Amino acid sequence: MSKHPAYDKFLDYVNVNKNAVFLDMGCCFGANVRKAIADGYLAERIIASDIHQEFWVLGHKLFKSGPKTTLPTFVQGDILDPSFISGPQQHTATDPISSVDLKILTNLSTHQTKVAQQLAALLTQTSGSTIFGSHESRPEKGFRTEAPPSSASSPGNGYLGNHMFCHSPSS
């Protein structure tokens, strides 16, 4: 996340707007929220969320979190579930969200427009609030053919297999 071109603006925004709320959607082990906290973002103004709570739990082991580690609240949920995406911030801070980091949106193929609209509706109207992120790509835009399809024996929710849509440099 910190290598993303929008990252410096993201930090500038929170320096000016001290109450800015950051949602890390698809946070996995929590590397990005830890980086934002190390760079000065207040943990209580961050919401970490993922469909798999076990990734967040494994993050404690990976990063050796202890009782004294200051971390954001984690909220388990599916970005494709309209009842969840309409209000993950209600689980924690009550303020509107200012920034969303997202590394899964464009891979959600047919759902991406709807998810983008729902996330945009969560954002504060303040100039500078933003959704940013990155995604996997291929030389040619289209579905990833290299991965096995998802099935009953596949890793389960969140595993897109060959249903993962990838943009190309030109798309």
Ligand X SMILES: C[S@@+](CC[C@H](N)C(=O)[O-])C[C@H]1O[C@@H](n2cnc3c(N)ncnc32)[C@H](O)[C@@H]1O
Q: Residues interacting with ligand X, by CB under 6 A? A: 1, 26-28, 31-32, 50-52, 55, 78-80, 103-104, 158
**Closest approach of ligand X to the CB of residue 109, in Å:** 12
How many other C-beta atoms are found inside a 10 Å radius of the C-beta of residue 55? 19
Smaller CB separation from ligand X, 17 or 118: 118
> Residue 166: helix, strand or coil by DSSP?
strand
CA distance 66 to 56: 14
CA distance 58 to 53: 9
Closest-approach residue to ligand X (CB): 26
Smaller CB separation from ligand X, 17 or 134: 134
**Closest approach of ligand X to the CB of residue 56, in Å:** 9
| Torsion, CA 64, CA 53, CA 76, CA 157, rounded to 10 | 140
Structure-token match 């599916």, residue found? 78
Smaller CB separation from ligand X, 19 or 109: 109
**Closest approach of ligand X to the CB of residue 74, in Å:** 12
Cα 92 to chain centroid, rounded = 16
Smaller CB separation from ligand X, 1 or 14: 1
